[in-house]
Amino acid sequence: MDFKLSEEQQAYQSLARQFARNELAPNAAAWDLEQTFPIEVLRKAGELGFMGVYCPVQAGGLGLSRLDASIVFEELAQGCTSTTAFMTIHNMATWMVAAYGPPDTVAAICPKLASGEHLASYCLTEPGAGSDAAALKTTATRTEGGYRLNGTKAFISGAGETDILVVMARVADESGVREGAGGISTFVVRGDARGVSYGRKENKMGWNSQPTRQVIFHDAQLKEVDRLGAEGDGFKIAMRGLDGGRINIATCSVGTAQAALVQAVAYMNERSAFGEPLRSFQGLQFKAADMATNLVAARQMVRLAATKLDDGDAEATLFAAMAKRFATDVCFDICNDALQIHGGYGYTKEYPLERYVRDTRVHQILEGTNEIMRVIIARKLLLEQNLDMLL
């Protein structure tokens, strides 16, 4: 397997690195402290194509691969984890509209999303349906020519500030509500549509540069063309989106861990204790060595999963789950270890380490908790009993 990046990939990597250093990193601490959603910077990212990285060219995006997207998002996350994470969610929602929307809907919505002129949220989780997403209760009741949407979504990134909502809902008609995963459909809803309202902004541990709110639907009227894919395909669409979403969020962890390791190594070279530089202490040398080794392992696992998804591999879901589980766990540990190396300074806002720890912690929860990732992996291993799929 060739691990060398192509010239085109290196060019996108360099462009993302420059944007992260110039637009994200200098502002990340202030956005976190003031809980600012940097819409104008997101629009600048859109001008470079970063808001539609793997959205098809004909829909206004760059049309890059998931591996290319991972390379881009890793660089951006080194500038601001929280803002980049929102960008990946927006990219996922944009791709879902482009991949499954009717032609007129794609033409009307996707170019504005891909350019960053409009922003999108992904609405799957509900107050009573997190890990068990198939248990969602939001209903889309059949009407003449469309649907009537009712229900509540929870923990929605960007909610209240975004223009487009990609919503999973259970279809209902005169025969009743369709139960099970096969009863779920996917819809595009305008963020300012009548019947759409928002809860208070959640007061979170991290991810403070993006708002998180409930989204409440009360008799919101939808047209037939607002549905993505066929009726009953919503859960499949959601899970296909999450394969890429899990790779994206794992990538954000890798990028943040890279930034944390850079900070830790610089600190070990600058700071002394007991008359010796920190880099001379074997305990810290071993810690840094483990951090670097785990970082490289996480990066390669994420890029392998992205390649599997690009290739349409039958086990792409498995590899995405493994990459998400491993990368978000070990990269959180890398950030935490980097904080520890900084001692008391790492716990202060003078350094970015405490923000890295807070922002990466949620990656072990969203896009499917790491416990659910283990369920996915274990079912594959124990039910199919085919270890060749790991090769």
What CATH number does residue 145 fall under?
2.40.110.10
Q: Rounded mean pLDDT of 328-338?
A: 98
| pLDDT for 386 | 80
Would residue 175 count as lying in a domain? yes
Answer yes or no: do 256 and 216 share one domain: no
List, for residues 199-243, the tens digit of each pLDDT value.
999 999 999 999 999 999 999 999 999 999 999 999 999 999 999
The pLDDT of residue 217 is 98
Q: In this structure, are 95 and 198 located in the same domain?
A: no
Question: Average pLDDT, stretch 89-101?
Answer: 98
Cβ contact 136:170 at 8 Å = yes
Establish whether 367 is a catalytic residue.
yes
**Phi, psi of 150, rounded to the nearest 5 degrees:** -140, 140
Q: Please state the rounded mean pLDDT for residues 76-102.
A: 98
pLDDT tens across 306-325, in order? 999 999 999 999 999 999 99
Domain that holds residue 174: 121-231
- Considering the domain architecture, whether residues 114 and 125 belong to the same structural domain is answered as no
Sign of CA dihedral 338, 343, 346, 350: negative
User: DSSP letter at 195?
Assistant: T
Estimate to the nearest angstrom the gap between the alpha carbon of 238 and the chain centroid: 13
Residue 174: pLDDT band (50, 70, 90) is confident
Q: Give the model's pLDDT for residue 389.
A: 85
Residue where one domain finishes, among candidates 64, 93, 118: 118
Question: DSSP readout, 58-87?
Answer: GGTS----HHHHHHHHHHHHTT-HHHHHHH
pLDDT digits (tens, 9 = 90+) for 347-389: 999 999 999 999 999 999 999 999 999 999 999 999 888 888 8
More confident residue, 57 or 1: 57
pLDDT at 307: 97
In a domain, 34, yes or no: yes
User: What's the confidence (pLDDT) of residue 202?
Assistant: 97
Crossing angle of helices 81-100 and 39-47, in 10° steps, is: 60
Q: What is the pLDDT of residues 357-367, one digit of tens each?
A: 999 999 999 99
Tokens of 182: 């096969």
Total domain count, the chain: 3
- With vertex at residue 205, the alpha carbon angle to CA 137 and CA 372, rounded to the nearest 5 degrees, is 45
- Kindly state whether residues 193 and 302 are assigned to the same domain: no
Within 10 angstroms of residue 311's Cβ, the number of other Cβ atoms is 12
Closest-CA residue to 17 (of 248, 266, 258, 310): 258
Together in a domain, 216 and 138: yes
Under the banding of pLDDT at 50, 70 and 90, the label for residue 130 is confident
Question: Are 198 and 216 contacting, i.e. CB atoms less than 8 angstroms apart?
Answer: yes
319 and 214 within one domain = no
Residue 176: predicted pLDDT: 80
Q: What is the pLDDT of residue 391?
A: 80
Catalytic residue among 23, 161, 315, 367: 367
Task: Report pLDDT for 47.
Answer: 97
- CATH value at residue 386: 1.20.140.10
Residue 162 scores a pLDDT above 90 = yes
Domain boundary among 118, 150, 168: 118
- 23-32, 36-45, 72-81, 127-136: least confident range: 127-136
Confidence of residue 183 (pLDDT cuts 50, 70, 90): very high
Q: To the nearest whole number, what is the mean pLDDT of the chain?
A: 96
CB 363 within 8 A of CB 84: no
- What is the pLDDT, as a whole number, of residue 263? 98
Examine the domain organization and report whether 109 and 72 are in the same domain.
yes
Q: Are residues 268 and 367 in the same domain?
A: yes
- Same domain for 286 and 152, yes or no, is no
The predicted structure's pLDDT at residue 384? 84
pLDDT above 90: residue 61: yes
Q: Do residues 322 and 199 both lie within one domain?
A: no
Residues 287 and 242 in one domain: yes
Percent of the chain with pLDDT over 70: 100
